[in-house]
Amino acid sequence: MNFDDHPHRRFNPLSGEWVLVSPHRTKRPWQGQQEEPDRATLPEYDEGCYLCPGNERAGGAVNPHYDETFVFTNDFAALLPEGPDFHDNDHHLLRAEPETGVCRVICYSPRHDLNMARLGVERVKKVVDVWCREFKELGSRADIGYVQIFENRGAIMGCSNPHPHGQIWATSNMPMLPAAEDQRQLAHLQERDECLLCCYLKRELDGGERLVLENDSFAVLVPFWATWPFETMVLPKAHMGSIVEMDEKQRGDLADALVRLGSRYDNLFQTSFPYSMGIHQQPTDGGEHPHWHWHMHFYPPLLRSRSVKKFMVGFEMMAMPQRDLTPEAAAVRLRDLSEIHYLETV
């Protein structure tokens, strides 16, 4: 089958959902906008930034003069550690349950002006170390069943501040999307006696058509079932349920993969590429989860240029997600880009 010529749908074995692929639509005429590289410069320190060292945050807390990473409890946390226990289920259609948890913010660096790609491998490795430390600490708590590490980047993703930072929301229950992946991975292991993502990675490394980059410990690829135009997945080559299973070498290799992917993303439309990124890992309920293979998703909304964003509206909101560019074509675009950040070249 030539995927380039015919509308078809693809199955996402991790979520159990389908995506409609309409590759013939990329043949529509498109007056590509010519854009100058985005060289908007930010200061290294911004006195109005609530994440820069020494500055005051909402609520009056003052950031320390940190020089690597800095973690604090979100001043507007969506989850609180304590709450009343209730079960308002007196009508079967009106169900509510308590949810408790912890929300934290992680500053990746004191430098206000750098993003993941431009921080470089050494400093991103420190961020990886913080993720591991936080996952371990939060995950070992009896009241935390799942730890979601994520990052929103760029104003169009609703990110409030360009200072490099990410978040952690840790909940007592496992949230919906990782819970779906949990079920799908469990079923795959039970039915085929092999981990779903080990099996998928083997196929992708054999074929290579959706691979963007790799190193000793990680592969970065555009999944066969990608929904977002330049969606990628970062997959550890070794079978591991969570990031704390990584050794030093693997942590360094993760930083390497993230910086290289970040440079390719920024080089695509010569801007600090917006996205939502998240790490999916096994639940932290104290149980055994041999079916879990941790991984990262990057969901960037930009489509053809800095100013053309994909919206999930109409058919996508009412029926199912759809994409025009095939995942294979997106992988070629990302593969062809330099890993030297455009702002580092003159």
Contact call for residues 166 and 119 (beta carbons, < 8 A): no
What, of Zn ion, ligand H2U, none, does residue 50 touch, CB below 5 to 8 Å by kind? ligand H2U
Q: What is the DSSP string of 205-254?
A: HHH-TTEEEE-SSEEEE--TT--STT-EEEEESS--SSGGG--HHHHHHH
Residues in the site for Zn ion, rule: CB under 5 A?
Answer: 46, 49, 51-52, 112, 163
Binding site for ligand H2U (CB under 6 A): 50, 57-58, 74-76, 105, 152, 158-161, 165, 167
CB of 108 to Zn ion, least distance (A): 11
Residue with the CB atom nearest Zn ion in the bound state? 49
CB nearer ligand H2U, residue 167 or residue 173: 167
Q: In what order do the strands lie in the sheet with 146-153?
A: 70-73, 101-107, 165-171, 146-153, 275-280, 295-299, 232-236, 218-221, 211-214
Choose among ligand H2U, Zn ion, none what residue 196 binds, the Cβ cut-off being 5 to 8 Å by kind. none
Q: Identify whether 289 is a catalytic site residue.
A: no
> How many degrees, rounded to 5, is the angle at CA 249 between CA 247 and CA 255?
105
| Residue 163 touches which of Zn ion, ligand H2U, none (Cβ within 5-8 Å per kind) | Zn ion
- CA–CA dist 170, 75 (Å, integer): 15
Closer residue to ligand H2U, CB minimum distance, 33 or 73:
73
**Between 15 and 161, whose beta carbon lies closer to ligand H2U?**
161
Partner interacting with residue 17 (select from Zn ion, ligand H2U, none; CB below 5-8 Å by kind): none
State the greatest distance between any 2 C-alpha atoms of the chain, in Å, as a whole number: 66
Pairwise CA distance, residues 189 & 252, whole Å: 29
Per annotation, catalytic residue among 112, 163, 165, 297: 165
In angstroms, give the least distance from the CB of 155 to ligand H2U. 9
Minimum CB distance to Zn ion smaller for 159 or for 205: 159
Q: Write down the residue that tokens 């991975």 correspond to.
A: 185
> Mind telling me the catalytic residues?
165
